[in-house]
Structure 1
Amino acid sequence: MTTIAKVDRGGFIESWHEGLAVLLDEDGGVVEEHGDVHGQHFLARSSLKPLYAAGLLGQGVVIENERQLALACASHGRLAIHSSLAADMAAALGVDEDELQCPVTESRDDSEAGRFAHMCVGKHIAMVAAAKQQGGADDYRNAEHPVQQRLRAVVAELTGDEAQASVADGCGAPVHSTTAVGLARAYRQLAVAGGSSVEEELLRAGRAMISHPEVIEAAGKPDTVIGSVFSAICKFGAEGTVAITLPTGVTAVTHCFDGARRAATVAALDMLVRAGHIPADAVEQNAEALELRHPGAKVISALA
């Protein structure tokens, strides 16, 4: 086990977090690694959404609106602006709200509750659209559905990792295990043109994410803050995964085994700072929004 972050309260180390961390350079080479980033599988959860989006585009789902494509990659902030965007996306793809199987969810701003308010709705809209093209969407979340079988293959193709586990995510759709270096190599393709058709679709998804960080989470939330401040792609996955890709293709992926997003965030940013890719003062200026500073305490990287 490798300690990737600690909580410092007035000079006393109050807690610490074990995990994985890897940094790729512009050419995709591993320049820093902590833990078994090549062999240890974990569930990247919603960090896989951009890969799914690329796979769904490849299955014939036509998402011409860039903000709607960003929503397919997002874990949105459950605000009215997100639900409205989801409704527009569903209408554009010929999907009814009652066809979606993500849970009915309360909004954060007293707007209408429903499936469009669920953080994973963009992914689900695209999955239903793909399933309807292939004969039926009643069981589109089933791991044996052709849409899900293709998405599992796409994740394996983009990461180079054959999943050791495929299980239900919190929204009920399948999620597949991968390694830190595999996820990092896939994320690099969000910014760097590849040769295959699915890599080209992944590049499209990456452009949408960079252009619309407010869709990826919400104003003042870590993914949107990192995306806005550093013109980057940033996507968290529940239970402690963070992936950050810069426009150059430099990519940091971290996973915290105790599920702490804050630990994964500070470790990923620390690798990028120490390698000279982002300024330390910009991280410090946004520490509270990034959940790295708390009353009397701060989360610090343990990787240096």
Structure 2
Amino acid sequence: MTNAAQLVEIWRGGLLESTHQGHAVICDDSGQIIEAWGNPEHVAYPRSSAKMIQALPLIETGAAAQAGLTSEQLALSCASHSAAHIHTDRVQDWIATMGLDDSAFCCGPQVPGDKDAKFELIRAHEGPCRYHNNCSGKHCGFLTVTRHLGAGPDYVAIDHPLQVSIKQAFEDVTEADSPVWGIDGCSAPNHATTIHAMARAMAHFASAHDRADTRAKAMVTLREAMMTHPELVAGEDRACTHLMRACKGKAAIKGGAEGYYIAILPEQRKGVALKIMDGGTRASECTMAALLVRLGVADADDPLIRRYLNPEIKNFAGLVTGEMKSTAGLAS
């Protein structure tokens, strides 16, 4: 945690009870740092915050156009969804159009995050399928590219043509060589980079409408799909969806496991990346909400922002026992 900054505080009875430390960077369209907290050169896995980068080959290879993919499907290719029916029905339809079934997915079965979908499985005495995995939309995109390329079925192998193209895209848009890769929760490779490099990549997405090359067009298409369909990127009771709705079309936002978050701000041509070092999701959501307010794309008084920016902490009896807040000045 070298040079990590204190980003979130937990207070109880007037006492500072806990803190979350991490790193955050805001970049402009030239890739330069506008503001930073902690160490911009800290190396971390962006996890699911990198899904829009992983989806670039889906468009750049022509696979999306050949398959006639909709903006809903492109949003799902960038999603960590809750496996509600609005997600899984679309995933099942997508995989069926390729003549494939659940066994084609390399991601594992996952219990739905959506309560209705979870209880539906329990009542039916059934277990989850691979299409319930929160990354199944991304994997539909992977399978679409794999079919387009005529490549083999082990599409998560690091030397698979798809993964080779994803690594190249990742290093291109971050403008940095990735020093290491790991296996993500959905079995796909995930490439590490610095917080600065990831914020720079998001700034490239944010300013892509200023350019006319194939990659820029793909970036615009993906970020617009995310902002148009925030409920498909996460779910009706999820932070990514809430934060995008609060920004009213001014930001594409994506969280990742272990306390990672990114934001793409097209009107400002800025990119944001942050990492909470203890992996706390509550802290990454709070920090992202604060930065969105700081950047003027969200209102601190918006109920969707308040629930993450400065939420009350309640016990099981409903009594307010404390509060969580970003560090002084982060949201201003």
* Paired position in structure 2 for 1:273: 293
Give the letter aligned to residue 72 of structure 1: S
Displacement of 1:203: 1.2
Question: 2:161 & 2:205 partners in 1: Cα distance?
Answer: 25
Displacement of 1:122: 1.1
- SS for the counterpart of 2:25 is strand
Q: Which has the larger radius of gyration?
A: 2
Q: 1:210-236: CA deviations, max 9, x gaps?
A: 000000110121000011111221100
Query: What does 1:124-163 correspond to in 2, within 5 Å?
Result: 124-163=139-178
Query: What does 1:15-164 correspond to in 2, within 5 Å?
Result: 15-25=18-28, 29-37=32-40, 39-62=41-64, 64-107=69-112, 108=114, 109=117, 110-111=119-120, 113-164=128-179
* Paired position in structure 2 for 1:206: 223
8 Å CA contact 2:151, 2:161 repeated in 1: no
Equivalent pairs, count: 302
8 Å CA contact 1:287, 1:293 repeated in 2: no
Question: 1:293 & 1:27 partners in 2: Cα distance?
Answer: 39
TM-score by length of 2: 0.84
Displacement of 1:29: 4.1
Give the letter aligned to residue 217 of structure 2: E
| Unaligned stretches of 5+ residues in structure 2 | 122-127, 315-320
Mapped pair 1:297 → 2:319: no
* Paired position in structure 2 for 1:239: 258
8 Å CA contact 2:32, 2:200 repeated in 1: no
Give the letter aligned to residue 187 of structure 2: G
Q: 1:97-132: CA deviations, max 9, x gaps?
A: 221111122333244631111100011111122223
Question: 2:183 & 2:276 partners in 1: Cα distance?
Answer: 20
Percent of aligned pairs sharing the same letter: 28
- SS for the counterpart of 1:227 is helix
8 Å CA contact 2:63, 2:144 repeated in 1: yes
2:271 alignment partner, one of 248, 251, 257: 251
Question: 2:186 & 2:170 partners in 1: Cα distance?
Answer: 18
8 Å CA contact 1:267, 1:303 repeated in 2: no
Ranges of 4+ aligned residues in structure 1 off by more than 6 Å: none
- SS for the counterpart of 1:190 is helix
Q: 1:49-107: CA deviations, max 9, x gaps?
A: 01111122212321531101000000001112210011122234444322111112233
Moved more, 288-297 or 196-205: 288-297
- SS for the counterpart of 1:254 is strand
Question: 1:154 & 1:292 partners in 2: Cα distance?
Answer: 38
8 Å CA contact 1:76, 1:120 repeated in 2: yes
